[in-house]
Amino acid sequence: MDRRDFIKTAGGAFLLASSGAYAFRVLTAPSAGWMDVDFTPSGRKWGMVIDMNKCREDCTACLQACREENNVAFVNDDRYDIHWIRKARLQYKEESENPGKSVILLCNHCDNPPCAQVCPVQATYKRHDGIVIVDHHRCIGCRYCMIACPYNARYFNMKESEEWPNKDFPKRSHGVAEACNLCAHRLDAGKMPACVEACARQGCGALYVGDLNDHSSEVSRLIAKSAVKRIRPDLGTEPKVYYIGL
């Protein structure tokens, strides 16, 4: 056997062994499955109502509270800052002297989330209670979800920020995508999301989060009795964030 043959055989055996090891690793990985979506029906479907009539234009309490609760990266550079919730000003293009009105924008937690549809690893998915959430342990950082989202609501952790205000909640290292998770950890614990609490503390009470399936809940009543709008429902994404006075 000459040197060439030796290299070939040894290389082949090594490749075989390592691919076997790789296959073993993939097959024994936790919860290997084609579609690991949770199908357990749950009575709840979280939704949000934003009453822009009650919202004060100069108030940013909800933005601040969100940052402090969820350790959202902020590096003071508008290309890399992450905003789970943000305030924008809307003006008609024709009449630029009109001051326009402000609006609160956040992830719409769509019922047909395009971001979850395109995620190649099911890191972004719709939880059984309707919250669209990112599993940061799985995200490979391909950024396809940012391209699919028609609401510009998804962000990428380009830079890590040093601040870590809420030590009980993880921050994110660079290289994963994220968006508002409707404070799922607080909802699970029976508390309201940080932005809602902050808004109530300011005395505005413009934000409501509640169960859309429960017809006696505050959000269902508001949706039933007032003129609500959603952002671009024509896209078929079925957003679950409703606006009053938009």
Partner 1 sequence: MDIQFESIEGNSWTYRITLIVLAAFTVIGFLATLYVIDKGIWVTGMTNRIPWGVQIVMAVYYIGLSAGSLVISGLYGVFGKLEYKPFARIAVYIAMLFLIAGLLSILTDQGRMDRVFIQPFVHFNLQSMFSINPLLYSGHILICVIYLWALFTERKKTTKVVATLAFGWAFCVHSGTGAIFGFGARMLYESPLLPAAFVAAAMASGTALMIITIVVLFRITNRHVDDALILWLGRFLAIILLVVLYFLFMENAYRVYVVELREAALYYLFGGWHAILFWFGLIIIGCCIPMFILFRNKTGNSVRWVLIASIMVVFGILCERYVIVLPGLMHPPEMFPGMLVTGTGVPEGIAPYSLSVVEVLQALGVFGAIGFLFVWGLKAFKLLPNEAKALV
Partner 2 sequence: MKGKPLLSPADPGQARLIVIIAVLIFVPLGFSVVSQVSRNRAESPNDFLEKPDPKYEECVRETSYMRFHHWELLRGIREEVVRYGKRSDVGLTKCSECHTSRERFCDKCHNAASLTPDCFDCHYFPK
| Residue of 124, 105, 245 whose CA lies nearest to 184 | 124
Q: Is 172 in the site for ligand HEC (CB under 6 A)?
A: yes
Backbone angles phi, psi at 115, to 5 degrees: -65, -40
**Comparison of 131 and 228: residue with beta carbon closer to partner 2:** 131
The token pair that represents 215 in the structure block: 């017809």
In the shown chain, the binding pattern of residues 175 to 214 toward partner 1, with x for contact by CB under 8 A and - for none, equals xxx-------------------------------------
**Comparison of 190 and 227: residue with beta carbon closer to partner 2:** 190
Q: Which stretch binds ligand HEC (CB under 6 A): 43-51, 77-85, 146-154, 166-174?
A: 166-174
Among partner 1, partner 2, ligand HEC, none, residue 10 binds (CB under 5-8 Å by kind): partner 2
**Comparison of 206 and 210: residue with beta carbon closer to partner 1:** 206
Q: Which of 59, 160, 187, 245 binds partner 1 (CB under 8 A)?
A: 160
Beta strands in 20-61 (DSSP E): 46-51
Q: Is 169 in the site for partner 1 (CB under 8 A)?
A: no
In the shown chain, the binding pattern of residues 210 to 239 toward partner 1, with x for contact by CB under 8 A and - for none, equals ---------------------xx--x----
Question: How far is the C-alpha of 170 from the C-alpha of 155, rounded, in Å?
Answer: 17
Residue ranges binding partner 2 (CB under 8 A) = 1, 5-6, 9-10, 12-14, 17, 30-31, 36, 38, 40, 125, 127-129, 133, 135-137, 160, 164, 167-168, 170-173, 184-185, 188-189
175 CB-side CA count, 13 A: 5
Backbone angles phi, psi at 209, to 5 degrees: -125, 135
DSSP assignment of 51-81 equals ETTT--TT--HHHHHHHHHHT----S-TTT-
Question: How far is the C-alpha of 136 from the C-alpha of 127, rounded, in Å?
Answer: 14
User: Cβ distance 96 to 236 under 8 Å?
Assistant: no
